[in-house]
Homo-oligomer: A and B are copies of this chain.
Amino acid sequence: MLQVITPEEVLRLIRESFTPLSGLEETVGLDRALGRVLARDICAGEYVPGFDRSTVDGYAVRAADTFGCGEAVPAVLALAGQVAMGRGGGDALAPGSCRGIPTGGALPPGADCAVMAEYTEDYGDGTVGVLRPGAPGQNVIFRGDDVYPGKRVFRRGRRLAPQDIGALAAMGVVRVPVARRLRIGVLSTGDELVPPEAAPGPGQVRDVNRPMLCALLEGEGIQAVDWGIAADDETMLLQTVERALRDCDGLWISGGSSVGQKDALCRVLETVGEVLFHGVAMKPGKPALLARAGDKPLAGLPGHPAAAYFVARLFLLPLLDRLQGRERAGWTVTARLRENVGANHGRAQYTCVRLEREGGTVWARPLRSKSGLITTLAEADGYFCIDRDCEGMSRGTAVEVTVWTGERCHGL
């Protein structure tokens, strides 16, 4: 029997046993930075925008010159030229005058406000009537409103999204310090496995975990190194593990689900490193195993694809986040259970669900499946967890559903 620990203890053990890798930084161009993890805080070195800008098409004015005006008594201002896009605001604006300005144009010195063209009238004689009073700062973005020197715009550990690429462009950060992409070896074990392209013979099944886990890693921006299928031979497994460990930052080994195979993998991992735990009080996923060789993690995942998937998502991705110093935000969708769900006492149970919107309510329909079915994962929108000390949940209960995010990933 396994000496099992809880999912919370697994995460605590990971935090305590692994630290962000040093020497992991590299610099990439802005056009290669999407999805990469910032290796340093990004502080602005300049003002964005670098000058006061109008947000409307109209006239730059001194607001005080327009106080008290109206449709009946326009403020009549001397027209002092036109601001061109991409040029400065020109000479200082004298009191009692205005200057034409396009959206995004630079405010002239002395001006503190832009009035919309709709609320003005060009008399054609070198004067413009302003029909509504302006206020200082109105329709203006001031220099540094977005960013100023020294402002910390991003913290290290952030995975860069498209809008972040925009913010870096605005600051002129075109060489981006990011964590090197981790290399994780993926290996399957089991005499019953054949590669997905092969036709299984009697008693054989295709290797599902290796392509699935490689895809999961790639979707996270991590390089998966495919080490193939290892036969159930302890000596050969040890050799493969040692070789993979020299090449990679860590290793995910799935399969070996029978007792003898599990013991063999455990012995191999004890040979090359220190076993941190073996067995988690969860369903699916009980026979998970984690070891450490120096600062490299070696994980043993269950052979059942659904169990392997949950172990990878719940523990191994957070572990890789830890190595990269990555901060991950996760939000859940609140949904109401369509059906009663029972649970095994003593184990955290992760139940796959389909989400169904009906009017204003989101319903979670539990997908019942035998252990090991892979299509259940593919049919689901996500999962929720029933705590180990809960005996089940009744229809209508609100649950917090973690939605798969894999759909959002892409492999080039």
**Contact of A362 with B161 in the complex, beta carbons under 8 Å:** no
Contact of A88 among B48, B203, B378 (CB under 8 A): B203
Q: Is A334 an interface residue (CB 8 A)?
A: yes
Q: Is A141 an interface residue (CB 8 A)?
A: yes
**A214 / chain B contacts, CB cutoff of 8 Å:** 31, 165
Interface residues on A, range: 35 or more
**A408 / chain B contacts, CB cutoff of 8 Å:** 219, 405, 408-409
**Contact of B410 with A410 in the complex, beta carbons under 8 Å:** yes
Total identical chains:
2
A202 to B214 Cα, complex, angstroms? 50
Contact of A378 among B167, B210, B378 (CB under 8 A): B167
Give A369-380 as 1s and 0s: 1 = Cβ < 8 Å from B's Cβ atoms.
011111101100
**A226 / chain B contacts, CB cutoff of 8 Å:** 31
**Contact of B85 with A203 in the complex, beta carbons under 8 Å:** yes
Nearest to A407 among chain B residues (CB) is: B161
**Contact of B407 with A218 in the complex, beta carbons under 8 Å:** no
User: Which residues of A from 256 to 294 have beta carbons under 8 Å from B?
Assistant: 257-261
Q: Is A340 an interface residue (CB 8 A)?
A: no
**Contact of A145 with B88 in the complex, beta carbons under 8 Å:** no
Nearest to A380 among chain B residues (CB) is: B163
Contact of A381 among B105, B218, B331, B405 (CB under 8 A): B331
**A332 / chain B contacts, CB cutoff of 8 Å:** 333
Contact of A404 among B57, B161, B260 (CB under 8 A): B161
A257 to B211 Cα, complex, angstroms? 47
Which of A50, A147, A329 has most B Cβ within 10 Å? A50
Contact of A85 among B84, B102, B190 (CB under 8 A): B190
Measured between C-beta atoms, what is the minimum distance from A193 to chain B in Å? 7
Residues of chain A touching chain B, judged by Cβ–Cβ distance below 8 Å, are: 30-36, 48-51, 53, 55, 57, 83-89, 102-106, 117, 141, 145-147, 153-154, 159, 161-170, 172, 174, 190-193, 196-200, 202-216, 218-221, 226, 232, 257-261, 303, 305, 309, 329, 331-334, 355, 362, 370-375, 377-378, 381, 403-412
Given contacts A163-B374, A163-B404, 15 further A-B contacts (CB under 8 A): A34-B219, A34-B406, A35-B409, A55-B372, A89-B203, A102-B260, A103-B257, A104-B257, A105-B192, A146-B372, A161-B404, A162-B406, A167-B375, A174-B196, A333-B334
